[in-house]
Structure 1
Amino acid sequence: MSRLTDLDIGASAVIKDIEDEKFRDRLRAFGITKNSQIKLKGYGFLKKVVKIEADNTCIALRKEEADKVLVEKR
Structure 2
Amino acid sequence: MNPAEAATKAAGILGNKAKMAKLLDVRPPTVNQWCSGVRPIPPARAIQIETLTKGQVKREALCPSFPWAGAAA
- Specify the TM-score bucket, using the shorter chain as the normaliser: 0.3 to 0.5
Query: So what's the TM-score if we normalise by structure 1?
Result: 0.34
Task: Select the structure that is richer in helix.
Answer: 2
User: More relative contact order in 1 or in 2 (CA 8 Å, sep 6+)?
Assistant: 1
Task: Select the structure that is richer in strand.
Answer: 1
Query: So what's the TM-score if we normalise by structure 2?
Result: 0.35
